[in-house]
């Protein structure tokens, strides 16, 4: 087993919600610190825990993902790890060299050029001038900003600052690499390059990675902490489970009309058990997806309109389109009402929460009549925690 590079024990950090009180507490803390009476584990009026009792160990070769809503405490935790702020309670032990990419442009002197900043940062990381001379060309090449390397960093675009920051942090062979959300600022080409670099250095490094981008987290993290109001709501090696829990916070059950020409309206939609026809909101993987629709027709229709039903996953990525073939489906044109079932047999979407949108067009599919988002959400159940959108059944033919 690899050596432990980061040990965090019951780490806590509190902040105060208003500046005046915070300054007053600062003065009081100074006095009580001197007299040894400070109680760092108690909250005073207007204080809150930004990070509360977080503990973990990270070994070389492991990548910890920190996820959670805005203001959950992720950046505060990273700043404590990087020594930028002191915790109120708990302990951090880090072995080896730390490379960090925390805030955009943080760690750079804006009036110095990119090249001068590389020397500065290298020196802070403990490299000699000779060692930096050996690495500087690699760093400039990696960042792909050779043309601008002698320009003051204050004139760099956001993407250029991230490129330089990541290149310095990752090319200096750190033992511990701390990366905040900033990576998202880079363009797709650079982000992909960063991931390749992370894959290369991961066996020799312990990485802590903060992101709101779940595909990225699932791609590189070996363990995860889901933070909620400073505490670890979920922690462990089951990254897919942590991501799933994160998404449940953002389930949106409110339908909204995107377009309506006034000729048709949706009165009812239900997910049905395909055998008993009972209304359900959870579906087992491999079962039939059977939807019941009831529309109100507000004008005379010559023929049945065209329905297309799209299914979105928790990232709001479209994962499937159900083309309800109105010739084949069980339609009942009954005066003012239009009722029908749409069934897809043997759903092989992977576990998770899904949302359904509907679009109703005229028979030819050319003119829109009604478009609604989130008309229904359902949960797909499977024992496997999988990240890809589909969990497909496959046969195995032994050719031995």
Ligand X SMILES: Nc1ncnc2c1ncn2[C@@H]1O[C@H](COP(=O)(O)OP(=O)(O)OP(=O)(O)O)[C@@H](O)[C@H]1O
Q: Which residues bind ligand X (CB under 6 A)?
A: 15, 50, 68, 70-76, 181
- The minimum distance between CB 97 and ligand X, in angstroms, equals 24
- The minimum distance between CB 229 and ligand X, in angstroms, equals 9
Contacts of 254 (CB under 8 A, 6+ apart): 374
- The minimum distance between CB 48 and ligand X, in angstroms, equals 7
Contacts of 129 (CB under 8 A, 6+ apart): 119, 123
- The minimum distance between CB 90 and ligand X, in angstroms, equals 15
d(CA 71, CA 84): 18
d(CA 257, CA 127): 59
182 or 391: CB nearest ligand X: 182
35 or 70: CB nearest ligand X: 70
d(CA 224, CA 233): 10
d(CA 129, CA 113): 17
- Would you mind telling me the total number of residues written for the chain in this entry? 400
84 or 280: CB nearest ligand X: 84
70 or 86: CB nearest ligand X: 70
Closest CA to 183 of 163, 207, 200, 197: 163
87 or 305: CB nearest ligand X: 87
d(CA 66, CA 73): 9
- The minimum distance between CB 29 and ligand X, in angstroms, equals 14
Closest CA to 100 of 13, 180, 6: 180
Long-range contacts of 254-259 (CB under 8 A, 24+ apart): 254/374, 255/372, 255/373, 255/374, 255/375, 255/376, 256/372, 256/373, 256/374, 257/370, 257/371, 257/372, 258/371, 258/372, 258/373, 259/368, 259/370, 259/371
107 or 122: CB nearest ligand X: 107
243 or 358: CB nearest ligand X: 243
Residue 154 DSSP one-character state: G
74 or 193: CB nearest ligand X: 74
- The minimum distance between CB 173 and ligand X, in angstroms, equals 27
- The minimum distance between CB 243 and ligand X, in angstroms, equals 15
Closest CA to 267 of 340, 330, 316: 340
- The minimum distance between CB 392 and ligand X, in angstroms, equals 34
């Amino acid at each position: 087993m690899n050596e432990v590079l980061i040990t965090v024990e019951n780490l806590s950090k509190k902040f105060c919600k208003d500046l005046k009180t915070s300054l007053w507490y600062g003065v009081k803390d100074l006095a009580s610190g001197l007299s040894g009476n400070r109680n760092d584990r108690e909250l005073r009026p207007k204080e809150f825990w930004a990070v509360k009792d977080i503990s973990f160990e990270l070994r070389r070769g492991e990548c910890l993902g920190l996820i959670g809503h805005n203001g959950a405490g992720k950046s505060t935790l990273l700043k404590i790890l990087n020594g930028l702020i002191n915790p109120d309670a708990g302990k951090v032990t880090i072995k080896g060299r730390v490379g960090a990419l925390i805030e955009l442009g943080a760690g750079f002197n804006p009036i110095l050029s990119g090249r001068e900043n590389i020397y500065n940062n290298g020196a802070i990381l403990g490299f000699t001038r000779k060692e930096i001379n050996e690495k500087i060309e690699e760093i400039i090449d990696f960042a792909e900003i050779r043309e601008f390397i002698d320009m003051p960093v204050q004139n760099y675009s956001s993407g250029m600052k991230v490129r330089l920051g990541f290149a310095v942090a990752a090319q200096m062979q750190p033992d511990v690499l701390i990366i905040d959300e900033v990576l998202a600022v880079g363009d797709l080409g650079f982000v992909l390059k960063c991931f390749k670099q992370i894959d290369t250095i991961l066996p020799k490094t312990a990485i802590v990675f903060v992101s709101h981008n779940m595909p990225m987290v699932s791609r590189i993290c070996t363990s995860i902490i889901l933070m909620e109001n400073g505490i670890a709501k979920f922690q462990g090696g089951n990254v897919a489970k942590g991501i799933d829990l994160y998404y449940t916070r953002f389930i949106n059950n409110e339908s909204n009309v995107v377009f309506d020409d006034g000729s048709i309206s949706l009165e009812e939609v239900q997910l049905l058990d395909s055998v008993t026809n009972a209304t359900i909101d959870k579906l087992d993987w491999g079962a039939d997806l059977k939807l019941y629709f009831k529309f109100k027709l507000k004008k005379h229709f010559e023929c049945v309109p065209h329905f297309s039903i799209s299914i979105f996953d928790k990232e709001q990525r479209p994962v499937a389109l159900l083309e309800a073939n109105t010739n084949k489906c069980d339609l009942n044109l009954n005066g003012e009402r239009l009722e029908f079932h749409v069934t897809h047999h043997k759903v092989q979407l992977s576990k998770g929460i899904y949302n359904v949108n509907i679009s109703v067009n005229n028979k030819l599919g050319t003119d829109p009549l009604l478009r609604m988002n989130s008309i229904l959400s359902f949960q797909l159940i499977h024992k496997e925690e999988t990240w890809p959108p589909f969990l497909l059944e496959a046969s195995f033919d032994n050719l031995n």
